Structure 1
Amino acid sequence: MPLALENLTVLDLTQVMAGPFCCQLLGDLGADVIKVEPVGRGDATREATGHRLPHGESAAFLAVNRNKRGIAVDLRTDGGRAAFRRLVRAADVVVESFRPGVARRLGVDYETLRETNPRLVHASISGFGQTGPYAARPGYDLIAQAMSGIMSVTGTPDGPPTKSGVPVADLSAGLLCAVGILSACLARTVTGRGQAVDTSLYDAALAMSVWETAELWATGEAPGRLGSAHRVNAPYEAFPTRDGHLTIGANNARLWARLCAVLGRPELLADPRFASNADRVRDRAALAEELTRTLVTRDTDEWVELLLAEGVPAGPIRDYRQSCADPHTLAREMVVELDHPVEGRVRALGIPVKLSETAGSVRRVPPGLGEHTDEILRAAGYTAAEVAALRADGAVE
């Protein structure tokens, strides 16, 4: 079966999470992604403190670098820059995640590379973007969550500001960058020209704040923390049960009535505090107290079965051990196994977007540092002797 992006060549200069995740998505859908890493040390996640697999490989690196070939280049050397520019001649996309200004100093910025390839789509992911008063600041997911407002609305009302459990700024920046790249590639089919794509962790974090900014601009008040509750619907949150927790989304009058019936609490329908959705949102705490009083009398799975039988959206709260073993997860092929040359059989998350005619696939395990350097440079026109000379000079590895 053909792959949707099989004619797209991407040079991945990024490190850590946002950029590698973006390029992995493109690789999953068929792009030939060439991961360009610094000589000697490679992507920072290769050596980052964190979880290691039994034979020492970085779990973090493996998580976001599959479906890529690897080359190690020292862009601080003349030979390394020349080798990279030769790769740019045949590339469609370059993705970088340097702090603004660094790409220009290394000669891999859009204005420089477009002279080599006017059709090039050049994408930048940074902490705060290429413009604005914060552009030069270092940026991480934590900082973006803090400054965008996400941390101010995460956690319980009486608790401190809290970081989201998953790196939403990093991952959403990677997703949005992939959308920008594909949009620029589509525009190129009309104009014949490439362009620069600029996104940031800060922009992405703000872009995810749809309900929160809606509340701000409607009321003039900064939204606060609600725990697991929803800003405009109730009941729509997590509740304790006898043996754990579950979530319930009864966010309209019909579902509210069905919920009361399943719980055996018809009197709640007549309670003026809960007469409308607006009332239930306003008296959310009292509503949660009433529902909890009943929910703690049975186990989670029993309640979920009863609620789903009546069409009330509900689900148990699970940890990742449970979710990754769930039959639905496996049926959706969201856990896959790969044969790694060092670690043997390893598991990874599957491809979250399914295309009916040009489905993505997991074809390559994450590359070793410089694993495909010779292959890539020979394909770009270098002779074996020239590659050996570059390696001897430290320009490549």
Structure 2
Amino acid sequence: MSKSSPEATGPLKGLRVIELGVLLAGPFCGQLLGDLGAEVIKIEPPDQGDPMRDWGPIKPKGQGLWFPIVARNKKCIVANMRKPEGQQILKDLVADADFVLENFRPGTMEKWGIGYDTLSAINPGIIMIRVSGYGQTGPSSHKAGYASVGEAMGGLRYVMGEADRMPSRAGISIGDTLAATFATIGALAALEHRRKTGRGQMVDAAIYESCFAMMESLIPDFQFGNYIRERAGSILPKIAPSNIYPASDGMLIIAANQDTVWCRLAELMGRPELAHDPRYATHIARGEHQGELDELISAWTRTQTSQSLEDICEQGGVPCGRIYRAPEMLQDEHFAARQAIIEVEHPVLGGFKMQNVFPKLSETPGNVRWTGPDMGAHTLEVLQNILGYDDTKIEALKAVNAI
């Protein structure tokens, strides 16, 4: 495990993000920008703060374990956006910022008098990143949008799970993180546009569209063939062999759907004739006989341990892999060699292991400087050092519950 430096090293060093919003779709975008070196100032309301602080199934010493990751590298301040004095803090920050990030229901920022028109009048170069369930426009834009609803509308939920039961979910909030990832891409594209023109713009990332973007040829499949994709469990229909196969002591993923790789797998199975069997010789033929082919492979894999299968496939040039959980990740030498897991000091819990910054850049790699801080931990620092507020002004803000 490597411990990261408190100094930003990524390519976005020197850029400032003002993050509003709570939970995941907006804050994960802030995490990604902070990972790449940006200074992220997270604004939380004074009553509760981000509910993500309490999320997670395990809370050692009363500490949530998700917030330290999604709020890593961020400076947390408290300011009440429902009060004019709190809104003025945002406006003052925007004057010397590069991005404003929010994931409220569309219209909320406008209701508070801090919409894009207002903020861009203060700073024409500001890039406003807006993440929502349905986008900023359209007949559904006013609705509350959660990741689960966006995943369903975007087509993702319908195809997840086993064919004989209700749709499943990914086990993570994939709709939120996909939307945040697309928001980050949009923010970086807008940054390049600003470099050329000096003008900022709005980035409108919708959860349902971010899921929909992943849906491959779903629409033309129906348009030209009246074909609707259905749930297929652990396989992709007509892509074979590529599945999870049982070992004598566990399971292994084997992906040998390419013709040449399938030939190698048949050889490893001691059944080289299968590679030339008309039922399995081509990609299309294997797709048509997917079920029976998986049974043939499973009959072989059940006679092997997971380790022996992994060794045989690796030596034979057939892609394969174990099904990892946290224990396997922490023990894996490849994770260790690439420092995919780092350890950062947490003020209460000590050494805190988490995923590193991805992707890796050769010249300006991102880094993790600190875990998600306490609520309001940086309020005075930001108000005094960045905005230049004096003690009298700060006390006046406290008196009206603006901070």
Instruction: Tell me which residue corresponds to 1:392.
Output: 399
Decide whether the 8 Å contact of 1:211 with 1:231 is kept in 2.
Answer: no
Deviation at 1:182, TM superposition (A): 0.9
Alpha carbons of structure 1 residues 241 and 211: separation in structure 2 relative to 1, 3 Å: farther
1:97-123 CA-to-partner distances (Å, cap 9, x unmatched) read 000111111222211211111110001
Distance 2:248 2:147 in 1: 36
Deviation at 1:244, TM superposition (A): 1.2
Alpha carbons of structure 1 residues 236 and 218: separation in structure 2 relative to 1, 3 Å: farther
Instruction: Tell me which residue corresponds to 1:10.
Output: 17
Decide whether the 8 Å contact of 2:253 with 2:323 is kept in 1.
Answer: yes
Decide whether the 8 Å contact of 1:100 with 1:126 is kept in 2.
Answer: yes
Task: Give the AA of the match of 1:5.
Answer: L
Instruction: Tell me which residue corresponds to 2:4.
Output: none
Instruction: Tell me which residue corresponds to 1:44.
Output: 51
**Equivalent of 2:213 in 202, 207, 211:** 207
1:72-128 CA-to-partner distances (Å, cap 9, x unmatched) read 000111111111111111111000000011111122221121111111000100011
Task: Give the AA of the match of 2:102.
Answer: E
Distance 1:85 1:287 in 2: 63
2:71 is the counterpart of 1:65: yes
Moved over 3 A (4+): 211-218
Instruction: Tell me which residue corresponds to 2:3.
Output: none
2:361 is the counterpart of 1:355: yes
Decide whether the 8 Å contact of 1:340 with 1:365 is kept in 2.
Answer: yes
- Secondary structure in structure 2 of the residue aligned to 1:269: helix
Alpha carbons of structure 1 residues 193 and 371: separation in structure 2 relative to 1, 3 Å: same
Deviation at 1:219, TM superposition (A): 2.7
- Secondary structure in structure 2 of the residue aligned to 1:187: helix
Distance 1:3 1:62 in 2: 20
Deviation at 1:275, TM superposition (A): 2.5
Task: Give the AA of the match of 1:72.
Answer: V
1:336-372 CA-to-partner distances (Å, cap 9, x unmatched) read 1111122222111111111111111111221211111
Decide whether the 8 Å contact of 2:238 with 2:286 is kept in 1.
Answer: no
1:183-239 CA-to-partner distances (Å, cap 9, x unmatched) read 111100111111000001111110111154454445321111121212452111111
Task: Give the AA of the match of 2:44.
Answer: E
Deviation at 1:177, TM superposition (A): 0.5
Distance 2:104 2:83 in 1: 17
Matched residues, number: 395
List aligned pairs for 1:61-210, cutoff 5 A.
Answer: 61-210=67-216
Task: Give the AA of the match of 1:16.
Answer: L
- Secondary structure in structure 2 of the residue aligned to 1:55: helix
Distance 1:2 1:63 in 2: 18
Distance 1:121 1:262 in 2: 55
Task: Give the AA of the match of 1:384.
Answer: D
Task: Give the AA of the match of 1:29.
Answer: L
Distance 2:218 2:301 in 1: 29
Deviation at 1:159, TM superposition (A): 2.9
TM-score, normalised via structure 2 length: 0.94
Decide whether the 8 Å contact of 2:161 with 2:167 is kept in 1.
Answer: yes
Task: Give the AA of the match of 2:16.
Answer: T
Alpha carbons of structure 1 residues 144 and 216: separation in structure 2 relative to 1, 3 Å: same
2:22 is the counterpart of 1:20: no
Distance 1:256 1:95 in 2: 47
Task: Give the AA of the match of 1:159.
Answer: R
Structure 2 unaligned blocks of 5 or more: 1-7
1:296-355 CA-to-partner distances (Å, cap 9, x unmatched) read 111111111101101111111222321233111122212111111222221111111111
Distance 2:163 2:231 in 1: 5
Instruction: Tell me which residue corresponds to 2:335.
Output: 329
- Secondary structure in structure 1 of the residue aligned to 2:37: coil
- Secondary structure in structure 2 of the residue aligned to 1:199: strand
Task: Give the AA of the match of 1:42.
Answer: G
Decide whether the 8 Å contact of 1:95 with 1:123 is kept in 2.
Answer: yes
CA RMSD of aligned residues (A): 1.6
2:380 is the counterpart of 1:380: no
2:265 is the counterpart of 1:266: no
Distance 1:47 1:4 in 2: 31
Deviation at 1:2, TM superposition (A): 4.6
TM-score, normalised via structure 1 length: 0.96
Decide whether the 8 Å contact of 2:234 with 2:244 is kept in 1.
Answer: yes
